[in-house]
Structures are given as C-alpha cells and as structure tokens.
Amino acid sequence: MVNDMKKQYINFLKILSILFVINIHLLSKAWNQAIPTSVNFKSLTFIDISFLVCVPIFAMCSGNIFLNRKDSNKKIIFKYALRIYLIFILFTTLYKVADLVFYQNIKINAKLLFIITKDAILLRSIYHLWYLRVVLAMYLSIPVFKWLFNVKSKYIDHIILLLIIILVKVIPIWFHSGWFLTYIGIFGFIIYFYLGYYLDKYFNKKYLILLIPISLFSYYYTFTKTISSSVAFGSAVVDHMQYLSYNIMFISVTIFLFVRWFKDLFENKKIGCYLNFLTSYNFYVYLFHGFTIGIIAKLNIINIYKYNHVLLIYVYGLLTYIITLIYVIPIKKIINKLKVVEKS
C-alpha cells in the first residue's frame, strides 16, 4: 500500500497486479457460464491462469516493502492494520448496499443497514474485499517477523521460511476442519508476504532458470486439470486454480523473480515518475474498480462480460482501469486535503 521509491520493479508489479485483478473480475462471469468443452472455455481458462498471479504478487510486494521497514509495532497496529479494518467495514457496507439497491431492487432500512454493518465489523467479506482480510493478517504478522529477525543466527531467514512452509503448507494436510481452512485462507498468504522479502534479498538467476521449466509445467498442469475436471463436472471447476496451490505459487514466484531480474529497466527517472504516480492510486483503484464494473454493466453501454475475441478482455480491463483512475484521482486529492485540515 506504500510506495517504495527505491525499488521501481515493485511498483511495476503492483500496477500489473491491479490490472490482472480487474481482468479476473471481468472474465469470471463469462468463464463460469462457458461450456467446458468449448474453445471459448479453454481460451478463457488459459488466460485466467496468467491473471491468478495477481494476489500472490500483491502479497509479495507488500512483504518486500514492509519487512524491509522499521515501523514500530504501535504504528503497524494502530495506523496500518486499524486503517485497513475501517476501510474494510466502510467499503463492504457500500458494496453490499449498492448490490441490494441497484441489482436486487431491495429498499434499505435501518435494520438491514445494521445487519450489513455488523457483518462488515465481523469481517464477513463481499466480492474482492476478502483480500483486505488477508492484508490485515499480513500486517498483524509483522511484529512476529520483527521479533524473529532479532534472533542471532545467520540462518534465521531460511529458518523462518521453513517454519512458514510447515505452518501453512504441511500442517493443513492433516487438518480439514472448517475453522482451520478459514484460518489458512486468511493467514496462508503470509508465505507470499515473506517470499517478497526473502526472494529479493537472496535473488539468484540460477534459481530463476530452474524455476522457469517448473513454472511452465505448473501452467500446463493447471490448464489441463482444470479443463478435464470441468468437462467431467459439466461446469467450471476452480480446484486447481487456487491462489495458495503449489502450481499457482510456482508461476507467481517465477514472474516475481523474472521482473526482479530486469529491475534496472524500471529505474529510469521518467519511467519511475510514471510508476510512482500510478502506484500512488493503486489501492484506490482496487477499492473502487468494482463500482466501475457495476456501473458499466448497469448502463449496458457495452456488454463488459461478453468477448467475441479474447483480446477484448484486455481492452475492457484497461478501460475499467482508466475510468476508475480518472475518478479516484480527485477522490484522493479531497481525502488528502481533509487530512491536512484535520492535522492543522
């Protein structure tokens, strides 16, 4: 959520990720409605897999930034974590109200508004806002990481990675209860959060070269398994397209390292200015792009969920991003002015 002026490749990855997030939300409806045996379904599946790196890369970018900073625990909890929690409550409420009013034609009364707000306070997410719960979990893990970093061992970074793998990848194999799966669904992304710090610090081109064939196989595996499972079931199956699966992890890590390899390309002063500008609005685009998609769909100017050609996915995704960016720029300026007035 915070710009890192020293690592422009991180800013590039964050912008790429928000574009992929938007594309996933545009593509998902068409993908779920397509016939699994059709060419259209196979094309959408192949493209969708590439977009799935968005959330892992978001998490890695956050870890790269926050685990390299020296914020106090008080600042982490009462500034960053509390801010995310309040934003979650506000936008979960807004999205739910908008959905009920504009799509379900339900009138909002005080009782219904209370129920909606209560669900938001209890962290019951709606749409893409589930990721804010993940961000909250990652922020709350920072004090633990800081404590572990103080352990006097030259192997501590590797030991931490091993502990995380055991916690979120090994232990879940033996636990299948609902509460534990929920826990993993929220805190499991800590592995990506830490990898953003670890992979940057211990970057080695040899590891990337080894990962590329593994990543390509993971892509092939995800595609073929998703197609075969969906054909057998008769509709779209997402079992092999989970953010925390090993196959998506290998693909995400490979892309992160690939961009890290060419990080010098993003250090150009002019390019850096553009990246800093766009990244400063990244979080706002994430929060508001759902409204943009909803408004475009409601006005029915274009059928944003129908693609006569797969390239339209990218066109509509970029269009959604640009429209959202246009109106979040003044929104952010107003918020910044209010903060200045409040401080004065």
Instruction: Say how far apart CA 142 and CA 60 lie, in whole Å.
Output: 13
Local confidence band at 76 (pLDDT 50, 70, 90 cut-offs): very high
Q: Could you say which DSSP state residue 235 is in? A: S
pLDDT at 46 (0 to 100): 95
DSSP 3-state percent helix, strand, coil across the chain (nearest 5): 80, 0, 20
Span between the terminal Cα atoms of the chain, in Å: 25
pLDDT at 61 (0 to 100): 97
Average pLDDT over residues 158-170: 91
Residues 6+ away with beta carbon under 8 Å from 276 = 3, 5, 8, 11
pLDDT at 54 (0 to 100): 95
pLDDT tens across 183-201, in order? Answer: 667 888 999 999 999 999 9
Local confidence band at 1 (pLDDT 50, 70, 90 cut-offs): very low
To the nearest whole number, what is the mean pLDDT of the chain?
90
Give, to the nearest 10 degrees, the angle between helix 311-343 and helix 282-299. 120
pLDDT tens across 108-127, in order? Answer: 889 999 999 999 999 887 78
Local confidence band at 5 (pLDDT 50, 70, 90 cut-offs): very low
Instruction: Say how far apart CA 275 and CA 264 lie, in whole Å.
Output: 14
Instruction: Say how far apart CA 343 and CA 20 lie, in whole Å.
Output: 36
Phi and psi at residue 314, in whole multiples of 5°? -70, -35
Q: Which long-range contacts (CB under 8 A, 24 or more apart) does 35-40 make?
A: 36/227, 36/230, 36/231, 36/233, 36/234, 36/235, 36/236, 37/231
- Judged against a pLDDT cut of 80, whether residue 93 lies above it is answered with yes
pLDDT at 229 (0 to 100): 96
Task: Output the six-digit token pair for 271.
Answer: 């390019």
Q: Which H, E and C letters describe 207-224, residue by residue?
A: HHHHHHHHHHHHHHHHHH
Higher per-residue confidence, 177 vs 242:
242
Cβ proximity of 244 and 190 under 8 Å: no
Average pLDDT over residues 74-100: 93
pLDDT tens across 230-278, in order? Answer: 999 999 999 999 999 999 999 999 999 999 999 999 988 899 999 999 9
pLDDT at 305 (0 to 100): 83
Handedness of CA 336, 338, 343, 344 (dihedral sign): positive
Average pLDDT over residues 36-41: 92
Average pLDDT over residues 154-174: 88
- Judged against a pLDDT cut of 70, whether residue 3 lies above it is answered with no
Local confidence band at 182 (pLDDT 50, 70, 90 cut-offs): low
Cβ proximity of 226 and 31 under 8 Å: no
**Alpha carbon of residue 327 to chain centroid:** 21
Average pLDDT over residues 89-106: 89
pLDDT at 41 (0 to 100): 92
pLDDT tens across 277-304, in order? Answer: 999 999 999 999 999 999 998 888 888 8
Q: What is the pTM of this model?
A: 0.92
- Judged against a pLDDT cut of 50, whether residue 316 lies above it is answered with yes
Average pLDDT over residues 151-179: 84
Domain boundaries, the chain: 8-343
- Judged against a pLDDT cut of 80, whether residue 4 lies above it is answered with no
